[in-house]
Structures are given as structure tokens and as C-alpha cells.
Chain A
Amino acid sequence: MTWRRRSPRSVTVTVCPDGPLLVRGADEVVDEAGVAHEVRRPCVALCRCGRSSLAPWCDGTHKVVTEEAAKRNW
């Protein structure tokens, strides 16, 4: 039996308005500090708002525009 390495997958990036970047096909994401984060799901969301507690991943915080909205929603 033999194994072959497939040709490199293409990586696609989709911009979500007022939200994260959706990245598909990557094996890892390297952050600003040079730390590599393994991709363990078919699609990952990268934070663009700079407020995620799970950076480089989005954690939905971009929706909380103000303290007021936070209080109203949750």
C-alpha cells in the first residue's frame, strides 16, 4: 500500500460584514506573535474586531457594540 500527498488544498477566505473572516482549507493560523494555532474544524472564523477573548478566533464579541447592547441582549 502506498500513500501520496495530495496537491496543496486551496485556502479560501470569506469576509463577513461587521464580523470575522471565514477561512477554509488552512491547516494552521499564525498570529501576530508568530504562534501557530491548529485548525481543527472545517471552517474557522478569524477575529477582525480585535476584541475576541479567543484570538485569533472570533468569539462573537463583535456583536456587542456597546455596554448597552450587551445588557439588552444577554
Chain B
Amino acid sequence: MRLPEPRGPITEALQSLRGVDVGLAVDQVTGAVDSHTSPLLDCDDAQLALWLLYELHYQGFDDVDPRAEWSPQVIAVRGHLERRFEAELRELTRVEVEKRLNIEEPIAERLFAMMSDDDSPRLAQYVQREITTTQLRELLVHRSVYHLKEADPHTWAVPRLRGRAKVALMEIQFDEYGAGRAGDMHSTLFAQTMTRCGLDSTYGAYVDVVPGYTLAASNAMSLFGLHRRLRGAAAGHLAAFEATSALPNRRYAAGVRRLGYGDEAARYFDEHVEADAVHEQVAVREMCGALVSDEPECEPDVLFGAATCLAIDGLAAGRLLDSWRGGRSALLRPMVELASG
């Protein structure tokens, strides 16, 4: 994968990562961030900047020196973006978190209640009943940002947890990584779905056309996973992710079959109906339950992580549906243009 194309002053300033030495003009990047006054959550440029800085910790870029991962300038720039991004996420979820805090009820029940009260737009229903072939392919392009590295962001949390919470997280992650079978890795299953639907499953192939709100979903997971301080949020995020998966995936699988793509293409979604019905119980009851009882100071962040997952996914669902119902592409460049190169 190569460094994505710049989409504004922040990612423009990050192009110097391509240089031979790992240097980066910190002031130039932070200046570009500071002069952006509207929320970073909704900024294509800022989210791409965060995404590419995080990506140095995952698969990296062919045209960036791998030592950039730990360059003090890179970490400084990332920290500058993260401080504002985290503050925005806290503000976005503040009411929801406060509502569920200090209630005499097990954390598991509060998390499940948060999920069932969530009234995000019904994307899964649309996928099942109405989505067109082009829109489905766009959805897969959006989802590829996370699903091609599925489970990786939460794996950062493993050494940051202890005891029963760590055991529960490892049990989920082992299953995400195919339970000992490389062909069953969820990221591999997703790549197969992309191929079956006529898409390029190469890691990072479509990042240039993915809007900021989808990159933000990936960035929130990386933020939570890469900071020990935020381990509660990593756990809460995973719990919410798993617990809002089984039922929607059943609808996604139905949509994929309705469009005639068949069992191989639907397999990723079929697997998630069964797997996430297990993962949600393990994540919510066992991982978050153990974490909150062993480290009560993590409780607010467990709720924060879960609420963040729901809020960002809800935002993305709304944007996707608005685009498609309005007859527009949900990508920065429509699929037809991508196909014709």
C-alpha cells in the first residue's frame, strides 16, 4: 500500500513522510489542524491524517520509512489530532454515558440497555430489502477499511488487560482470527466477499475514496487500542460492536443473496450471525463484567467506548442512507469512475 492522496492541508503537510528521512514539520501539521475549526469527526482531511498515522502501526506504507512508526514528530502530530478527536468523542457521548453511570445494575445489563435503546438509522433493513448492486459494492468498500484488518485494533488491548478480562478478550480474538484456521480468519472471509462482488480486496485499495466518517470509525478503535489509559473504552467499544452485529449480519446476508451473489459472498455475514451471538455474550458479560469489577476506575470508559461505537456507526449509517436515498454515491468518487479507472 502507498500513502494515500492528500485531501486537504493536513494530509498535504503529511506528504513529507514520503521523504528519505523520518522528519516531519510538526508545526506545519499542527498549524493545519488548528486552523480547521469545525469538528474533526466530520473532516475528511483530519480523519485521513489520523488513519494514515495509525496505519504506520498496522501494515505501513511501501513509500514510507518503517521507522516513521515511532518517530517523535509523528507521535507528536498524532497526539495533537488525538487530543481533539477524543474530546469530540467524549462530548458526543457525554449524555449517554452519564445516563448509564452510577446505576445499581450490572454493567452487562446497562450495556445491553444502551444497545437496545439505540435508535440509529436502520441500515441493515435497507441492505436486506432495497440496496442495489452498486450500493452494496460501495458498502463493502466502506467496510473494507476495518474488515480487512478485522480484530486488529482491539488486539492492542490484550496486554493492557489482566486476568478474566484478558482471557475473555483472547477467546474472542482467537475466533476472529479463524480459531487456528487461516482460511477462516474474518478478514480473509471479508476479502473473499469483496472478490466475489467484483472488488479489489488488496489492503487499502480504496482508502482514497472513503469519506472521513468511515475512517473515523476505524480511528476510534485505534485510539482506544493504542492507549493503555483507554483500555476501558477499547473493551466497551468491542462489546458494543459485537452486540450490534448478529441480527444486522443476518439481514446483510439476505441482501447479498437477494442480489444473486450466492453463498460464498454471503459467508462472511453468515459467520458473523453465529460468531457474534457468542462474542456479544463473552464481550459484554465476561470481558466488560470482569474489567469493571477488577478495575472499577475503567467503568466510565467502558460506557464511553460502547457509546462511541454506537454514535459513529449511527452517523455512518445515516450518511450512507442519505446518499443512496438521494441517488448519490456514498464514496468520494463513484464506483463507475473507479471501474473505468
Q: Is the interface of A mostly helix, strand, loop or mixed?
A: loop
Q: Is the CB of A74 within 8 A of B285?
A: no
> Which residue in B247, B275, B280 is a CB contact (below 8 Å) of A41?
B275
Interface string of A38-61 (1 = CB under 8 A from B): 001111110000001110011111
**A35 at the A/B interface (Cβ < 8 Å)?**
no
Cα distance, A53 to B125, chains bound together (Å): 17
Which residues of B sit under 8 angstroms from A20, Cβ to Cβ?
A: 277-278, 281
Which residues of B sit under 8 angstroms from A54, Cβ to Cβ?
A: 273-274, 277
Q: Is the CB of B248 within 8 A of A74?
A: yes
CB of A18, distance to nearest CB on chain B (Å): 9
**A16 at the A/B interface (Cβ < 8 Å)?**
yes
Q: Is the CB of A72 within 8 A of B273?
A: no
Which residues of B sit under 8 angstroms from A33, Cβ to Cβ?
A: none
**A64 at the A/B interface (Cβ < 8 Å)?**
yes
Known A42-B171, A43-B282, A60-B277; contact A69-B248, beta-carbon cutoff 8 A? no
CB of B193, distance to nearest CB on chain A (Å): 19
Q: Is the CB of B274 within 8 A of A57?
A: yes
Q: Is the CB of A45 within 8 A of B277?
A: yes
Cα distance, A4 to B278, chains bound together (Å): 31
Q: Is the interface of B mostly helix, strand, loop or mixed?
A: helix
Query: B49-57, B71-79, B115-123, B138-146: which lies at the A interface?
Result: B115-123
Q: Which one of B124, B273, B285 has the highest number of Cβ atoms from chain A below 10 Å of its Cβ?
A: B273
**B287 at the A/B interface (Cβ < 8 Å)?**
no
CB of B27, distance to nearest CB on chain A (Å): 47
Known A40-B179, A41-B179, A43-B282; contact A59-B118, beta-carbon cutoff 8 A? no
Q: Is the CB of A74 within 8 A of B124?
A: yes
Cα distance, A45 to B283, chains bound together (Å): 13
Cα distance, A2 to B312, chains bound together (Å): 54
Which residues of A sit under 8 angstroms from B175, Cβ to Cβ?
A: 41-43
In the complex, which residue of chain A has the Cβ closest to the Cβ of B181?
A40
- Offer 19 A-B interface pairs, CB within 8 angstroms, sorted by A: A19-B281, A20-B278, A20-B281, A22-B278, A41-B175, A41-B275, A42-B174, A43-B175, A44-B278, A57-B274, A58-B277, A59-B273, A59-B274, A59-B277, A60-B247, A60-B250, A60-B280, A74-B122, A74-B248
Residues of chain A at the chain B interface (Cβ within 8 Å): 16, 19-20, 22, 40-45, 52-54, 57-61, 63-64, 69, 72-74
